Amino acid sequence: MNAAIVGWGHTPFGRHDHLSFEDLVRTAAREALADAGLAGKDVDAVWLGHFNAGLVPDGFCSSMILSADEGLRFKPATRCENACASGSAALYSALDAVRSGRVRIALVVGAEKMTSLDGPGVTRALSAASYQKEEAGISFPEVFARYARAYAARYSDPREAMARIAVKNHANAADNPLAQLRRPLDLEFCLVPSDKNPMIADPLKKTDCSLVSDGAAAVVVVADDLAKDFRRAVGFRASAQVNDLLPLSKKDLPAFEGPREAFRQAYAAAGVTVADIDFAEVHDCFTIAELLTVEAMGLCALGEGPALVKDGAIGRGGRLPINLSGGLKAKGHPVGATGVSMHVIVARQLVGEAGAMQLPGAELGLAFNMGGGAVASYVSILEPLKV
């Protein structure tokens, strides 16, 4: 038994002053059920991906999904958390349940509300995704600044490549009506620190950082023998999860070992190489993360990412278009929603429903969602199913 995605919901990402966390959860859940043509009573179990760490006061949230539809009462509901990969943690738990046969129809929601805290509050909350014992008091941008400095020390200065990634992802977001920032960024603006683009954690400038966002995304996942009952379905050719050690000091930072191992496992399970992948949504929480991902996924050798980025290989029309949605950088990054959002975006591309983002003829899509500094790595390889 394998699992298939047969419906989805996705709120706009951005600032939602008038929607509570619960409103966001409910909105995405209802949209996904409606998209799949299902009612709450049809669902066997629900999962919520949610990071929290004090971002909202709601500490017991799995059952909030039940309020989306009265038919959901008494259904099992579970919250899963793996920092910024919490959405994938929820989705992968649903995959296990479907593959075990216990659950035939699952509803998975990922959600986060971040803008109700001020900047320092968000920084404090996100720092919980780093290893407190070793990294207490350092911000999450500083975690990735260490990756960038380690990359520079071993290979070359990554700043120009990081700026190009920011420019690409902002350009892509113009095609995504659900994206938080749809205005283009200029390469020069991204390259040079300025009052409007200050240094956050050297060498990461503001334009190297993803956004603080509210938002939710949801998918309906079913046993694939049910896929024929839905108007379209997207299957999992592979789903690989790898967790690495928490302390940065125990890892080879530029090698991005955890993500690399997750890509290796996913390709092996799918029987493909990176050359078979038509497009990818990857976890650009910081531009340096997308650069390291390009290398970890095997698009080029270690240290060669900057040249590949400069050649346009990961732009629309390139060898492997990455983050056609705008990525976390411009689509937005409501932490718990991100992993689910990636799967929604990939599924929409694969069934020709990606609107202006659409890549013609895409047959194999990849989602890479990451928690912490390469701590939790989820790689899904998705394909459309005949229904």
Active-site residues, by number, are 84, 333
For the record, the structure tokens of 372 come out as 């912490």
Residues that bind a copy of itself (CB under 8 A): 1, 20, 22, 45-46, 51-54, 57-60, 62-64, 66-67, 73-83, 89, 92-93, 95-97, 99-103, 125, 127-133, 136, 241-246, 258, 261, 371-372, 375-376
Question: 254 or 306, CB closer to a copy of itself?
Answer: 254
Q: How many residues does the chain have?
A: 387
Question: 10 or 79, CB closer to a copy of itself?
Answer: 79
Sole residue written with tokens 């209802």: 30
For residue 283, give the DSSP letter: -
For residue 320, give the DSSP letter: S
Q: What minimum distance in Å lies between the beta carbon of 65 and a copy of itself?
A: 9
Q: What minimum distance in Å lies between the beta carbon of 237 and a copy of itself?
A: 15
Q: Are 273 and 378 in contact (CB under 8 A)?
A: no
Distance CA 177, CA 357 (A): 9
Residue of 216, 217, 215, 218 lying closest to 38 (CA atoms): 218
Question: 244 or 279, CB closer to a copy of itself?
Answer: 244
Question: 59 or 317, CB closer to a copy of itself?
Answer: 59
Residues forming a β-bridge with 243: 376
Q: What minimum distance in Å lies between the beta carbon of 125 and a copy of itself?
A: 8
Question: 99 or 182, CB closer to a copy of itself?
Answer: 99
Question: 63 or 358, CB closer to a copy of itself?
Answer: 63
Torsional sign, CA 320, 270, 281, 129 = negative
Pure H helices in 155-236: 159-173, 187-191
Assess whether the previous peptide bond of 203 is cis (omega < 30° from 0): yes
Q: What minimum distance in Å lies between the beta carbon of 251 and a copy of itself?
A: 10
Q: What minimum distance in Å lies between the beta carbon of 87 and a copy of itself?
A: 12
Sole residue written with tokens 């966002």: 213
* Backbone phi and psi for residue 111, each to the nearest 5 degrees, phi listed first: -155, 150
CA angle 358, 370, 31 (to 5 degrees): 50
Q: What minimum distance in Å lies between the beta carbon of 109 and a copy of itself?
A: 13
Distance CA 32, CA 124 (A): 32
Distance CA 61, CA 139 (A): 26
Sole residue written with tokens 């496992």: 265
Question: 182 or 264, CB closer to a copy of itself?
Answer: 264
Q: What minimum distance in Å lies between the beta carbon of 23 and a copy of itself?
A: 10
Distance CA 70, CA 92 (A): 25
